[in-house]
């Protein structure tokens, strides 16, 4: 099984600029003027341009909006060093949401991209998530 990540945006050119600058991704394929593939992460990320106010699915009660919003699915970006990654993301247009959090597995910074999506930068330490994993 392959995992593909799709991210709705309202401005494809701005989204490509943000994600390539913030996370060092590179453009793979382009699909007309409405979508672009980003490579360089463990899964490809597809930026899909959809206008604000459009329906995210047939019969949706709430239209797409690109102000800060919450969803139970978000991107975690694991980085080798948090501070330089955080500086790069903020310089590209990410907004920091709160202080850097210390966890038993490492450190985390919460961000919002320019399209309202939540993103966490993770810097693992020691054994990463294995620091808190239940024994088998």
The confidence band for 136, taking pLDDT boundaries of 50, 70 and 90, is confident
- The residue with tokens 């979508």 is 35
In this predicted model, what pLDDT tens digit does every residue of 35-47 receive, in sequence order?
A: 999 999 999 999 9
Identify the architecture of domain 1-53 in CATH: Roll (3.10)
Residue 57 has pLDDT above 80, yes or no: yes
| Rounded CA separation 79/84 (Å) | 9
Q: What is the pLDDT of residue 71?
A: 87
Mean pLDDT to the nearest integer, 98-116: 97
67-136 has the same fold as 1-53: yes
Q: Of all residues in the chain, what percent carry a pLDDT higher than 90? A: 96
* CA angle in degrees (0–180, nearest 5) for 43-33-46: 10
Q: What is the pLDDT of residue 54?
A: 96
In this predicted model, what pLDDT tens digit does every residue of 60-91 receive, in sequence order?
A: 999 999 999 988 899 999 999 999 999 999 99
Report residue 35 as tokens: 């979508």
Task: Say whether 3 sits in a helix, a strand or coil.
Answer: coil
DSSP letter for 41, please.
S
Domain ranges of the chain: 1-53, 67-136
pTM: 0.92
Superfamily, domain 67-136: 2,3-Dihydroxybiphenyl 1,2-Dioxygenase, domain 1 (3.10.180.10)
DSSP letter for 84, please.
H
Q: Count the neighbouring beta carbons within 10 Å of the beta carbon of residue 124.
A: 18
């Amino acid at each position: 099984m392959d995992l593909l990540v799709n991210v709705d945006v309202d401005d494809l050119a701005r989204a490509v600029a943000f994600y390539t600058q913030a996370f060092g991704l590179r453009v793979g394929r382009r699909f007309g003027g409405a979508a672009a593939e980003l490579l360089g992460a463990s899964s490809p990320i597809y930026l899909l341009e959809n206008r604000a106010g459009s329906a995210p699915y047939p019969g949706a009660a709430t239209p797409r909006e690109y102000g800060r919003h919450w969803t139970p699915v978000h991107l975690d970006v694991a980085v080798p060093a948090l501070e330089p990654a955080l500086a790069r993301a903020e310089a590209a247009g990410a907004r920091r949401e709160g202080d850097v959090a210390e966890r038993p597995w490492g450190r985390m910074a919460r961000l919002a991209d320019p399209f309202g999506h939540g993103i966490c930068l993770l810097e693992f330490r020691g054994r990463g998530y294995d620091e808190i994993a239940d024994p088998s």
